[in-house]
Amino acid sequence: MKELKRGGAVKYNPDNASRVPRTRALLLFLLPMPLLLGCLIALFRDGKALVAIGCGVAFAITMLAATLMRKGLDIEGDAKRRRIVRRSSAIPYKSLAAGVLGVGMFVGAKFGSEESFIASVLLGAVACMGAVLVYGRDPSRTAPDMPAIGVTAEEVLEILNEADSKILAIEAARDRIHNVELKDRLRNIVTGVREIMGIVEDDPRDLRRARKFLRTYLDGAQRVTEGYADTHKYGDNGVLENNFRNVLSTIETVIGEQKEKLLENNLTELDIQIEVLQVQLEKEGV
């Protein structure tokens, strides 16, 4: 890939990155299972409705803790893969999950197992600290965060992941096109889009300038490519092919200008170019 001015961003490849596996949160989903079993035993065998309710509530709370922890781990993993080292989320999911787990264990011990208040508090505290030790803490609130530009790291991750999905759709449509020239141009377009994504990863502040491109415009490029691939399978159409070729030319031009303007921090001219392309996508009828 061509070296970029701001720090050598490279093509994103999840296979080359160290993922934070979702299975790390599996333990927390297994932990509440005895509570569910206790709820059923208390309700159907012992006839203790209050104990059954206590176990049921504790089960629901601990499952919520597991869900929050998995969300925190997913965001943390995405941030590492994307090289976004700033605070990953405005919500401290992992810390929140540890606290919720402690509450769930307290409720289960106090009302499900009918332990003493002190013993229940201790069990909840141990569960909370154990979650912190196993899964770690969220980055400090004093860790570097996005500048005050109306964007969070979590938002950057969301938009980049959406863009990845659109790129995969464009590549899938490209595989259904038999024209070698058009396939090569689509391949170059995908490479250019990934370079733009690399610029955003390298400096997430650029999302303010690239948001419209990665969402609205890339979505249009996906639709027009899939539309051509679907229509092309019914036979060659010279007018359709020329229209699609014209659109690809414009897309290539705008990608080049997008990269240049991002590196130059020129937002106004870039917005104008994207608006012009959107009009062409609507008029070409491909």
The model's confidence at residue 129, banded by pLDDT at 50, 70 and 90, is very high
Q: For residue 212, what pLDDT is reported? A: 81
* pLDDT tops 90 at residue 93: no
N residues, the chain: 286
* 26-38 per-residue burial string, b: 16 or more CB within 10 A, e: under 16: eebbebbeebbeb
Phi and psi torsions of 2, nearest 5°: -65, 135
pTM above 0.85, yes or no: no
**Which has the closest alpha carbon to 185: 274, 252, 237, 281?**
252
pLDDT at position 12: 41
Please state, rounded to an integer, the average pLDDT across all residues of the chain.
76
Residue 283 burial (CB count, 10 A): 10
83-109 mean pLDDT: 79
pLDDT digits (tens, 9 = 90+) for 173-232: 999 888 888 899 999 999 999 988 888 877 777 777 788 888 888 888 888 888 888 887
Q: 94-105, pLDDT tens digit by residue?
A: 889 999 999 989
pLDDT (0 to 100) of residue 235? 56
Mean pLDDT over 12-37 rounds to 64
C-alpha closest to that of 84 among 142, 9, 189: 9
